[in-house]
Structure formats: structure tokens, C-alpha cells
Amino acid sequence: MRTRIAMTFLWVAAAFALPQVARAQSLVVDNFTTGNHEVTLRSGVETHVQSGSMIGGFRQTHFLVADGAGNPFNQTGTLDIRPGGPMVVDMGTRVFHRLEVYYGVGPDGAIAPLNLNLSGFDRFVVNFDCSDSVLNFNLQIFSDSGATYSTLGYNLDPNQDPFSVDFPFASFKGEANFSDVDLIVLIFQAGNVMGAQDFAITSLSAATPLSNDVAGSRALGRATPIRRVHPGFGAVGRPEARPPT
């Protein structure tokens, strides 16, 4: 009798869980386990395209390290997409940076539209391993081969533990069509007055609220994008990216 009651309880519990499992889904855009690349700059810009298992088959990185007042001690900054992940940014003392990461490009870096239908999802989720100071982080999507776009950004507080950040589609500002996404762009730059940003990212996914694509504590964006022009950056301080041509 006890066995029958226990089995009945398990069956009922499983039945209640089924709708949640059915609704929980995610689409991995990039988990940074392929397309490894490492570059160290004392100043200037490096643009590089990596192939791999990321969505669209290619990832373009545009990594800028400031000079002059944006790097007063002439220190270096490093972008390291490690074999097996994660993607690591390591900046020297008082060095300002900007990193743009593109999905929806071909091997030459030109737009190769993803034509991605995200209507079955309601947010992007970005998983961090850690971040040591305030980080200005913006995410953009483009439709119509780059003609229209929407954007959402946060200033993220530092966190020594793994954490996740939600980018709900309903919070994006702009005119892009989430049922026909051609280009996805991540934009990172220091959200503090000293630069010297260090952080690591483990994955980017499109998700639903019940997805298990969560590395740790959820969503700690605390502000909308800052439009500060950092020393030595000029217009590069903008939160928006421009699509490749």
C-alpha cells in the first residue's frame, strides 16, 4: 500500500512538472567553447573573425584599447577566448577598453544575416563567471540586414561569483523585429572612472523565464546605458555599435 501511494505521488508530481518542462527552452548563441582567439594590445584596435559552433558559424570581435588619457601608464589589455571557454577580458591599470562581439557575419566580417526567428523566446540571458568592477554592457539586435535595430543596456555591479543577466525583449528600445534577427551585437566598456576592467563570460542564449540557462544569481543590471565618452576614446564611448559592411 505504501509503495502504491508513493508511486501515485510521484506520478502526480511529474504530471504537474510537465507543463513547466515543456515551456522551458533556450537557444545557445555562443558558449565560447570554440573559436578560440587571444590578443594583447597596448593601444589601438584589432578586428578578428573566428569560426566555430556559435550561431551562424562565425563570431567577429572588435577589441579597442585606449591610449593617451585613456591609458596613462601605457599598460596592456587582453582579450582571451580560451579553448573550451570562457571569454576573458583583462585590462591593465587605468586602461579603458571597448569590446564589440558580432553574430551574423561571414568569414570576411561582412553581414551574413542570421534570419533568426526568436518569437518562441522572450529574453537573452548572458552568463558571467565574474566581473571585478562596474561594467557598462549593451546588447543590440539588427533586422533588415542592419537597417533597423533595438538596444538594451545596463551598468552591472561587480560580482566575484557566477551570475546571469536577463535582457527581456519587451525592454529593448528600437524597431528591430525579433522574429527576423539578422545580427546580434554585445558591447562592453568600463562603467567606472578608472577603467582596468576584468571579467569573464561563459555563454549567451535566447531563453524563456523557466529556462535553466542560469549560472548563479539572476539579473543585476542597475541602470540604463551610460553615454560617457571615456578619455582617449572619442565617439567610441557610445553605447551603440554599427553593423559591419
For residue 146, name the pLDDT band (cuts at 50, 70, 90): confident
Contact 195, 230 (CB under 8 A): yes
For residue 131, being part of any structural domain is answered with yes
> Is residue 19 in some structural domain?
no
Q: Looking at the domain assignment, is residue 16 inside a domain?
A: no
Mean pLDDT of 163-175: 96
Average pLDDT over residues 86-102: 97
Domain extent for 105? 25-237
**Domains held by the chain: number:** 1
Instruction: Say if 45 falls within a structural domain.
Output: yes
Q: Could you give the CA distance from residue 177 to residue 145 in angstroms, rounded to a whole number? A: 11
Q: Could you tell me if residue 137 is inside a domain?
A: yes
Q: Is the pLDDT of residue 58 over 70?
A: yes
Residue 167 pLDDT > 50: yes
pLDDT at 145: 85
Average pLDDT over residues 47-63: 98
Does residue 180 or residue 145 have the better pLDDT? 180
Q: How far apart are CA 75 and CA 52, in angstroms?
A: 31
For the entire predicted model, the pTM comes to 0.82
Instruction: Give the span between the Cα atoms of 74 and 93, in whole angstroms.
Output: 9
pLDDT of residue 244: 62
Top pLDDT among 115 and 237 is at: 115
Please determine, for residue 2, whether its predicted confidence score (pLDDT) is greater than 80: no
Would you give the DSSP letter of residue 172? -
Indicate whether 74 pLDDT > 70: yes
CATH classification of the domain holding 38: 2.60.120
In this predicted model, which residue has the larger pLDDT, 210 or 67?
67
Q: Write out the H or E segment, with its range, that includes residue 79.
A: strand 77-81
What average pLDDT is seen over the chain?
83
CA separation, residue 86 to residues 75, 79, 82, 207 (Å): 23, 11, 6, 20
Determine the pLDDT at residue 218: 45
Look at the block and give the residue holding cell 538596444. 151
Q: Answer yes or no: is 9 within a domain.
A: no
Asked whether the beta carbons of 218 and 164 are under 8 A apart, the reply is: yes
Domain membership of residue 6 (yes or no) is no
25 near 125, Cβ under 8 Å? no
Q: Is residue 106 part of a domain?
A: yes
